[in-house]
Amino acid sequence: MKKVSSAFLVLMILFVSCNPTDTYYDEIIKNKTISERIEELNKTLTSIRKTEDKKALIKEDDDYLEYEYKVGKDDAYNVTYFFDAAGCFEVGLDTYFGEEIDAQLVLDEMKQEIESIQRFGSPKNTNSLYEWVDTEGVVSIELDYINLDRGMVSLTIFANE
């Protein structure tokens, strides 16, 4: 009987360790990583619409798209795109989490991913805002965490041209 209980315990541990739950950050980047969102600058509204989940679209205009994605039980994040004649000039990603810790973990992961992109490097950090400009000066990124205590993190990617 003791061998059966030990074997069952080992199997349960293996099952749990082989099926880790995704973090909120994992959920956010399932559709697109931060790097992929940077690459969306200057793309057309039509081409971006093809790459997002149609069911998540909550608002559309001639120069604007907004998508809402649910994560966890009661949390969400929104992705917005702004367009002009040259294409997408701004991509925004805003989190709405019930717990500050979830927002903090997402903030840390986003910052880490952006810093890992060689053309951005380390950010300037002022007033709860991380800021990056790529080495060519054509892309800027802001990661706003002033409302972190309310579960909010705002990532904005800008085309500087």
135 within a domain of the structure (yes/no): yes
Using CA atoms, how far residue 50 sits from 1, 26, 117, 156, in Å, is 57, 22, 25, 21
Q: What is the spatial distance between Cα 96 and Cα 77, in angstroms, rounded to a whole number?
A: 6
- Summarize pLDDT for 14-73 with one digit per residue, the tens: 444 444 578 999 999 998 999 999 999 999 999 999 999 999 999 999 999 999 999 988
Residue 10 in domain: no
94 in any annotated domain: yes
Determine the pLDDT at residue 20: 53
Residue 15 in any domain: the answer is: no
Q: How many domains does the chain have?
A: 1
pLDDT single digits (tens) 98-155: 999 999 999 999 999 999 999 998 999 999 999 999 999 999 999 999 999 999 999 9
pLDDT (0 to 100) of residue 93: 98
pLDDT score at 18? 47
How far from 98 is each of 20, 24, 74, 76, 149, CA to CA, in Å? 22, 12, 8, 9, 9
17 part of a folded domain = no
Distance of CA 85 to the CA centre of its chain: 26
